[in-house]
């Protein structure tokens, strides 16, 4: 009897410590320790950088079972910002993102292959301009730990490359600019 | 009708005006020059604007055409300001026509001024929406306002376009009315705008 209780107790402790690490995080868009950047070649001569300013997202990550993690991000496509008013207006137009019709883009993970530090790949569905395509993110775990204000944070950087035409964006920007790289830099606050 | 009037009906112009300021019977040279310079610039800007938005990335005019449009547009803004000041600080000659024609002429003239002002302002707010200044032929820059609202360029672009289309409608009316006055009514309205002396009908 004593041993049964003892065993039960140990299981309980193990379970609680497990649930403590399998944590849900909300991407810190309030304090903006997160960015969804993109870059595309300009004529093949330089990189043009831009970002989506407004987005929300959450992820879960467990160091002991990293492959059980998941992530989802919603992006307000009207918030595209390449630091040039006329270009951004053009990017929001039907030639590119058609943000009147498709004001949101999203990424939802379907399978996660990460090590305990958060390095690896995440596959998922990216919806952009109404087209949903599978993409694979190359992920680097940057770090995790307590912040100075009583919270616990964890951050990643993820990159992937898209072919614009796959998402119905076929405006001719030249042969060097058929693909765009996405660079997601996200920090989550544990809930 | 005395013989003089009959002569004016068939040949309303007789010599050139010699005054710079407007008078109650005729525009002065300054108003006339501002009008025709505006006419050339407005028609040019409308045509350039309609054409340039059809260009695509690899057209050689894709970047120069909007730069030209913005440069000329900002110079036109200065011209428009001078014109409005001159219009308000000078008498305007009596408008030819029936009472309802005069009413429509007054409304549509002020609507044209309002649209021109609105088109200039929306064009400026569209281009400067993210803090970029407008370079005028590389001579000088017109800075952006310190604050902008979300998607300002898109909304201002819509207004710029629809105000311009409305303006084109009014210009067709304006030109049609000028032709009607000059050749159907033969009251010398167009001659008067070209600086010819015209007797009041």
CB atoms closer than 10 angstroms to residue A107:
24
Tell me, yes or no, whether A100 lies in a domain: yes
Domain count, chain A: 1
Tell me, yes or no, whether A16 lies in a domain: no
Q: For chain B, which residues lie within 8 Å of any Cβ of chain A, measuring from their own Cβ?
A: 56-58, 66, 126-130, 132, 150-154, 157
CA distance B126 to B66: 12
pLDDT at B24: 87
Tell me, yes or no, whether A130 lies in a domain: yes
Tell me, yes or no, whether A2 lies in a domain: no
pLDDT at B193: 92
Which residues in A lie closer than 8 A to residue B157 (C-beta atoms)? 89
CB crowding B47-86: b at 16 or more within 10 Å, else e? ebbeebeeeeeeeeeeeebbbbbbbbbbebbebbeebeee
B5 band by pLDDT with thresholds 50, 70 and 90: very low
- Least trusted range by pLDDT, from A110-124, B10-24, B66-80, B87-101: B10-24
B144-199 pLDDT, tens digit each: 999 889 899 999 999 999 999 999 999 999 999 999 999 998 888 899 999 988 87
A85:B132 CB<8 A = yes
Asked if A184 contacts A159 with a C-beta cutoff of 8 angstroms, the reply is yes
Nearest chain A residue to B56 by CA: give it: A172
Q: Given its phi and psi angles, is residue A43 left (phi above 0), alpha (psi -120 to 50 degrees) or beta?
A: left
Asked if B134 contacts B105 with a C-beta cutoff of 8 angstroms, the reply is no
B127:A85 CB<8 A = yes
Q: What is the DSSP string of A46-90?
A: EEEEEEE--EEEEEEE-TTSGGG-EEEEEEEGGGEE-S-HHHHHH
pLDDT (average), residues A87-94: 96
Asked if B13 contacts B187 with a C-beta cutoff of 8 angstroms, the reply is no
A45-82 pLDDT, tens digit each: 999 999 999 999 999 999 999 999 999 999 999 999 99
Provide ipTM, 2 decimals.
0.82
Tell me, yes or no, whether A1 lies in a domain: no
- For A5, the token pair is 């209780």
Q: Domains of chain B by range and CATH? A: 3-198 (1.20.950.20)
Give me the domain span that covers residue A107: 23-190
pLDDT (average), residues B91-98: 87
- Put simply, whether A92 touches B (Cβ < 8 Å) is yes
Asked if A85 contacts B155 with a C-beta cutoff of 8 angstroms, the reply is no
User: Considering CB atoms only, which of B56, B66, B153 is closest to A88?
Assistant: B153
B14 band by pLDDT with thresholds 50, 70 and 90: confident
B130:A171 CB<8 A = no
Tell me, yes or no, whether A15 lies in a domain: no
Residue B3: pLDDT over 50: no
- For B142, the token pair is 């017109």
pLDDT at B94: 87
Nearest to B128 by CA among A190, A85, A47, A103: A85
Which residues in A lie closer than 8 A to residue B130 (C-beta atoms)? 81, 83-85, 88
A151-170 pLDDT, tens digit each: 999 999 999 999 999 999 99
- Least trusted range by pLDDT, from B33-47, B62-76, B95-109: B95-109
A3-37 pLDDT, tens digit each: 555 555 444 444 444 444 569 999 999 999 999 99
Tell me, yes or no, whether A6 lies in a domain: no
Identify the residue with better confidence: A11 or B94. Answer: B94
CA distance A118 to A175: 35
pLDDT (average), residues A123-145: 97
% chain A with pLDDT above 90: 88
Mean pLDDT of chain B: 91
Identify the residue with better confidence: A13 or B88. Answer: B88
Tell me, yes or no, whether A10 lies in a domain: no
Residue B113: pLDDT over 70: yes
Domain with residue A129: its CATH number is: 2.40.128.110
């Amino acid at each position: 009897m004593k041993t049964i209780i003892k065993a039960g107790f140990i299981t309980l402790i193990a379970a609680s410590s497990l649930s403590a690490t399998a944590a849900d995080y909300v991407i810190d868009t309030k304090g903006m320790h997160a960015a969804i950047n993109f870059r595309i070649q300009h004529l093949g001569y330089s990189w043009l950088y831009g970002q989506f300013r407004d987005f929300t997202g959450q992820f879960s990550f467990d160091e002991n079972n990293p492959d059980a993690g998941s992530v989802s991000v919603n992006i307000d496509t009207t918030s595209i910002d390449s630091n040039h008013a006329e270009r951004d207006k053009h990017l929001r137009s039907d030639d590119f993102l058609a943000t009147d019709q498709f004001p949101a883009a999203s990424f939802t993970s379907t399978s996660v292959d990460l090590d305990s530090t958060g390095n690896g790949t995440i596959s998922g569905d990216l919806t952009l301009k109404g087209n949903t395509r599978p993409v694979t993110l190359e992920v680097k775990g940057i770090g995790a730990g307590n912040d100075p204000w009583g919270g616990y944070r964890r951050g990643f950087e993820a990159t992937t490359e898209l072919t614009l035409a796959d998402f119905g964006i076929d405006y001719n920007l030249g042969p060097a600019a058929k693909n765009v790289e996405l660079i997601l830099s996200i920090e989550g606050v544990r809930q | 009708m005395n013989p003089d009037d009959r002569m004016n009906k068939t040949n309303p112009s007789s010599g050139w005006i010699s005054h710079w300021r407007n008078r109650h019977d005729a525009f002065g040279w300054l108003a006339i020059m501002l009008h025709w310079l505006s006419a050339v610039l407005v028609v040019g800007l409308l045509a350039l604007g309609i054409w340039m938005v059809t260009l695509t990335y690899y057209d050689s005019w894709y970047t120069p055409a909007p730069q030209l449009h913005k440069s000329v547009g900002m110079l036109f803004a200065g011209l428009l300001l001078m014109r409005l000041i001159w219009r308000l600080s000078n008498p305007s000659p009596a408008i030819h026509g029936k009472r309802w024609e005069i009413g429509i002429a007054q409304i549509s003239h002020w609507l044209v001024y309002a649209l021109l002002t609105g088109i200039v302002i929306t064009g400026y707010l569209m281009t400067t929406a993210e803090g970029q200044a407008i370079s005028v032929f590389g001579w000088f820059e017109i800075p952006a306002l310190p604050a902008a609202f979300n998607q300002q360029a898109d909304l201002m672009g819509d207004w710029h376009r629809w105000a311009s289309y409305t303006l084109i409608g009014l210009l067709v009316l304006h030109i049609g009315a000028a032709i009607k006055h000059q050749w159907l009514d033969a009251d010398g309205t167009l001659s008067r705008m070209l600086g010819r002396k015209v007797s009041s009908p």
